[in-house]
Amino acid sequence: MNPTLHSILLLALSLSSVVAVYARDNLSPHQRVILESKSPSPIDATFSFDAPAGPQFTEAEKEAQRERGKGV
């Protein structure tokens, strides 16, 4: 490898780590809490390839939408 290219890569890696540390120190307290908190569990929506396509509505929901649609 070219010595100049090698030293440029080494310098770039060194600076990127310094920038990453500096960026971490500039977070607001609220941002730190967000990063350090545990992610919420996903919404209880199970996925299955066997499920029919599209949203599934009850007959009552379908009828309510039809009634609302009449006024449009």
Cα separation, 4 vs 9, in Å, equals: 9
Average pLDDT over residues 34-62: 80
**Which pLDDT score, from 0 to 100, does residue 19 have?**
60
Question: What is the sign, positive or negative, of the torsion defined by CA atoms of 11, 14, 17, 19?
Answer: negative
pLDDT band with cut points at 50, 70 and 90 for residue 55? confident
**Which of 23, 4, 25, 1 is closest to 12 using CA atoms?**
4
Tokens of 12: 């770039």
User: In the structure, what pLDDT confidence band is assigned to residue 68 with cuts at 50, 70 and 90?
Assistant: very high
- Provide the whole-model pTM: 0.29
pLDDT value for 26: 86
Helix (H, G, I), strand (E, B) or coil at 42: coil
Residue 67 has pLDDT above 90, yes or no: yes
